[in-house]
Amino acid sequence: MNPQFRALKAQIMRRKRWLNALEIAGDWLGLSLGLSLAYLLASSLGLLPALPSLWWLFPINMAVGLAGWWWGWRRPIDLPTVLLQIDRALGTGELLCSYHEFSGERARVPFSGRLERLVRDLAIDPVAALPLGRRRRRRLSWVVALGLGLTLLASLSSWQLLPSPALFGAAAKDTQHRQERDSVSQANPARPLSAAELQQLGARSEALARQLRISSAPARRQTTVAELSKLYRRLQASEQALWKLPAAAGQADPLAQTQGSSSQQAGAGLSSEQERARRLAEARRAAEALQQALSQLQAQARAGQLSQEELRRKLNQLARQAPNQALRRGLQRAAQAQNLQAQQRLMQQAQQQLQKLINRDNELQRAQHQIAQALLQASQKLAQSGQAPASQPGREGDKPSSGRSERQGQQGAKQGQKQGTGSKAPQGASAAAQQSAGQAGKSGQSGQADQAGAKSSSGHQAGKGAGSKAQDQTTQQLLPTQYQLKIAHDQLPPDVKLQRMMLGKGVPFDAVGSAADNDTLTLRYDFAKVEPLIRARGLPPQMRELIRQYFIAITTEPKSKP
């Protein structure tokens, strides 16, 4: 074969590889740029998380383009076909592909000689022979357009010249959040934050975090982060203020200083207790009414006073009033039963379920009020044993009634424990406890023990003083004491569970019995382990004292021992 033709073939191969590489790189890059633009749009609408910087898209796209180039370069080339393409493009009469095949060993005399002469006379320019082509040029122009578009959008976005749809409407919210922020920041930094302020702070933090997720403009993100830092510092200051509350004797009663906020907080705590108790009482009354209606229906059905249709209709009505899904389904099944016997059986089952529900509500109520009582007692004891008696008109008068209600409540609780069920006794206790709780709310006493442990107790001052020794002795006496509460474990509402957790935070208790054991759970507090744990927690002194006093309060009456 003619060496010039060999060289020409090599040039043609190189050109073809270059075109293949360009084509594939262009296709891949075009796809990648298209996806990048789609991503840009989605992230600005908040549908996808934003990258730290849009400029990341450029190296990603470049990598895709380079990968496409490599892939195209490595594509196998069918030389005879390429030569034919060149022949067609240049109108050589298929000389190149014919000579490529019929030269050397496959030469066909005399035609190959003539072929060689003719091929030699051709001046083939591989670039002209294999042009880019209109189709390739069109596709590449799309790629260039997409690249320019992406560059423009990235630039505009980083210069914050593009309004992000996700931030539309943020202007109106900004004003509101600024006001909240101002109210939070203007609060006395030396005092702990109230529950309402904490809630505000929490809501604002959430909004800021959301903003951070969707916004990619660096300047805006910086502002958001700065604001979040301020809020965090405010929270830290509040916590430090809690720690710095004066505990030594002789100092002014911090209770007096924090009276306003703590009474608010106590009021908020106890009023939430009241609310819970009220809801429980309502639920119990509804359950009792349903029970009564069901009993009447059973009696009527037994006496044959109702037709099948009427009975079915009334059962469905009762089902609609059922407080929970299981009871509703039970009553619906009873309504759909085929005969009276089956209906009676199902109604009886529903009765049993209702009774269980009522019993559970009673227990819950009792537990609620016992907790409220304990809080009251603890705060009272602190006030009594504290440095500056925080005597307020309401409080003196409260004592006897509190004590009375406390005794009543405990008696009721004892009865409840003995009977295991019983709706009357806890009612008395609950009413009394509500009364005392309400009074305590007015007087602004404790309520903080049920919020975030004892930290937000708003500075109940329980320092070491004259009463502390006596208290220690009492504690020692009471160390082996245990506190027992029978309640259906799976029916504990979440807030009671939370209260129990917070009050018993750090205090180990053993759960005796399981859900299968008559559906009750016995909780036993082991006070022998309290002291070391309290010390180990590193709580401030006045908080330790509060907790200690609380446990003393709930176990004061010997009769309350199980």
Partner 1 sequence: MSERDPERQIVELQERLRALRAEIAKVIVGQEETVRAITLCLLSGGHALLEGVPGLGKTLLVRTLGRILGLSFKRIQFTPDLMPADILGTRILSEDESGRRRFEFAKGPIFAQLLLADEINRATPKTQSALLEAMQERCVTLGNETYRLEEPFMVLATQNPLEMEGTYPLPEAQIDRFTFKILLRYPSEAELAVILERQAQLGDLSGLNSVLSGAELLRARHWVAQLPIAEPLRRYVVRLVYATHPSSEEVPPLIKQYVEYGASPRAGISLIRTAQANAFLDGAPNVRLSDLQRVFNLAFNHRVIRNFRGEAEGISIETLLAQVLKTTPEV
Q: Where along the sequence are the contacts to partner 1 (CB under 8 A)?
A: 80-81, 83-85, 88, 93-95, 97-102, 108-115, 118
Query: Where are the extended beta strands (E) located within 140-243?
Result: none
Nearest distance, CB of residue 98 and partner 1, angstroms: 4
CB-based contacts of 198, cutoff 8 Å, min separation 6:
none
Closer Cβ to partner 1, 28 or 99, answer by number: 99
Nearest distance, CB of residue 8 and partner 1, angstroms: 16
Closer Cβ to partner 1, 91 or 250, answer by number: 91
Closer Cβ to partner 1, 18 or 102, answer by number: 102
Nearest distance, CB of residue 2 and partner 1, angstroms: 15
Nearest distance, CB of residue 123 and partner 1, angstroms: 19
Pairing of strands 509-512, 486-487: unpaired
Cα–Cα dist 347/351, whole Å: 6
Q: What token pair was written down for 359?
A: 């019993």
Contact present, 428 and 412 (Cβ < 8 Å): yes
221 dihedral zone (left: phi>0; alpha: psi -120 to 50; beta): alpha
Contact present, 157 and 218 (Cβ < 8 Å): no
3 state DSSP class of 509:
strand
384 dihedral zone (left: phi>0; alpha: psi -120 to 50; beta): alpha
Which residues share a beta bridge with 523?
A: 511
Nearest distance, CB of residue 87 and partner 1, angstroms: 8
Nearest distance, CB of residue 86 and partner 1, angstroms: 10
Q: How many CB atoms lie within 10 A of CB 49?
A: 10
Nearest distance, CB of residue 121 and partner 1, angstroms: 12
Contact present, 261 and 448 (Cβ < 8 Å): no
Is the four-CA dihedral 422, 427, 432, 438 of positive or negative sign? positive
Closer Cβ to partner 1, 100 or 276, answer by number: 100
Is the four-CA dihedral 516, 517, 520, 525 of positive or negative sign? negative
Nearest distance, CB of residue 93 and partner 1, angstroms: 5
Nearest to 419, CA basis, from 339, 464, 359, 375: 359
Nearest distance, CB of residue 132 and partner 1, angstroms: 17
Closer Cβ to partner 1, 88 or 497, answer by number: 88
Closer Cβ to partner 1, 92 or 499, answer by number: 92
Nearest distance, CB of residue 15 and partner 1, angstroms: 16
Nearest distance, CB of residue 122 and partner 1, angstroms: 13
Cα–Cα dist 210/227, whole Å: 13
Cα–Cα dist 554/562, whole Å: 13
Q: Where are the alpha helices (DSSP H) in 244-324?
A: 254-257, 259-302, 308-321
Q: What token pair was written down for 352?
A: 């049993």
Residue 188 exposed, middle or buried by CB count within 10 Å (0-12, 13-18, 19+): exposed
Closer Cβ to partner 1, 118 or 478, answer by number: 118
Residue 73 exposed, middle or buried by CB count within 10 Å (0-12, 13-18, 19+): middle
End-to-end CA distance of the chain: 111
- Find the helix or strand (DSSP H, E) in which 487 lies: strand 486-487
